Amino acid sequence: MTSLVWFRDDLRIDDNPALAAAADDPDGLIALFVLDEVSEGVRPLGGAARWWLHGSLERLREALAEREIPLVLRRGAVAEVVPEVVAQAGVTRVLWNRRYGGERHHDAALKEHLRAGGVAAHSFPGNVLFEPGTVLNGQGLPYRVYSAFWRACLSRPAPVEPTTVPDRVHAATPQPLGEPLDGWRLRPTAPDWAAGIAARWTPGEAAARERLDEFLDAGAAGYAEGRDFPARATGSELSPHLRWGEISPRTVWHRALDAGADVGVFLSEIGWREFAWHTLFASPDLHLRGLNAQFDAFPWRTDPGAELEAWQRGETGFPLVDAGMRELWQSGFMHNRVRMVTASFLTKNLLIDWRVGEAWFWDTLVDADAASNPFNWQWVAGCGADAAPYFRIFNPVTQQQKFDRDGTYVEQWAPHALLTPEIVDLRTSRVRALAAYDQARGASSEPAVS
């Protein structure tokens, strides 16, 4: 029996259920990654994500090579590539870990196709703590309020213990031919806009585990009190590693509890990530449509022009906003508190559609995933699950006074921001935003999501 392990957003060796299941096959396995940018409904990766993927695949290839297993790379529609490799290599079963976004219908169709051809196909729980579709409210519907969702999760049996890779996994022979990673051109050449990203980040499973160890060895010191202060190094910075499945949330969960530190607040943030994935499972078009139907009639500006460009470049004249946007462009990352401030500024002070901002983050964040990115943008805009009320508008001036009073963060990323003219009046734009919300609420014939 020869197994094909199909890697996707689970680029790791440990706690990889599909890989662990292949260890039982006496004829060995084939490890395959498919870069699918052509199938219907598949969202092309942003530039920062492509940079990270290149590095993550390099590290996975090295980890598999230590076990003398090649990583086969192919590009194209999965509905064509996977059956082609199966036929070429005489594969008898295909194993993968589940995805929970809109692409899952491709997985279901492939599973049906393989089984119809006599090839066994099995999928396993993916990069979540609890399977989406299993945590439902009393009416059998997905939760729309985080606190109720997380209580329901915590009332369930604990997430399963992470699996380890048995020493007996080995490669099948012969192996199918793959494509060179460099030929995919996932990383820029000239000009190299990713130099700042490369200086800050190291993709791969080993780096993910090291980052978690450092965070927990310090006892998650100061996380609960300092997580809102962007100049403090209190965050775990695990989000891009989780996004690519270089470490699983199950591993994070159990390692955190075993560390004996005060990790309740930290795990609640893992729970927020979980909430996003469960919401995406119920609403696969999350990046296209707000969950609150009132916002279908919202009068977003149709021609934001220069103000959108000023926001993207970090030239709004509001230091905290500008520092966040420049951190994003230079490093592929932005502190969570500042993400909320910059998103609020775009959607409420500038009245620019949240989908425009979500698309910009999708292209520039190394940790942008199909669930958290649109989910969080909808939360800030006021049209998502458990959303902040629309009238909650983050004032970038008072936010800076609260969370960067001495200007350390602003000085690091936007030292000249105070010399930039402000592109909008905060008081006037706030009044305009509330009027637009009243207009949308009056135009909507459907009730707001509760």
Q: CA-to-CA distance for 120 and 135, rounded, in angstroms?
A: 29
377 is catalytic: yes
Supply the angle between the helices 336-344 and 354-364 in degrees, to the nearest 10.
140
Structure tokens at 428: 């006037």
Q: Which of 382, 379, 374, 364 is nearest to 327 (CA)?
A: 364
Catalytic: which of 272, 277, 360, 379? 272
Catalytic: which of 329, 362, 377, 379? 377
Catalytic: which of 58, 131, 237, 269? 269
The DSSP element (H or E) to which 96 belongs, if any, is strand 93-97
Catalytic: which of 58, 131, 237, 300? 300
Q: CA-to-CA distance for 434 and 218, rounded, in angstroms?
A: 44
Catalytic: which of 52, 150, 253, 354? 354
210 is catalytic: no
269 is catalytic: yes
336 is catalytic: yes
Q: CA-to-CA distance for 142 and 132, rounded, in angstroms?
A: 9
Query: CA 399 → CA 230, 296, 319, distances in Å?
Result: 11, 29, 11
Catalytic: which of 193, 237, 336, 411? 336
The DSSP element (H or E) to which 254 belongs, if any, is helix 249-258
Q: Which of 98, 73, 60 is nearest to 205 (CA)?
A: 60
354 is catalytic: yes
272 is catalytic: yes
φ and ψ of 96, to 5 deg = -155, 165
Residues forming the active site: 269, 272, 300, 336, 354, 377
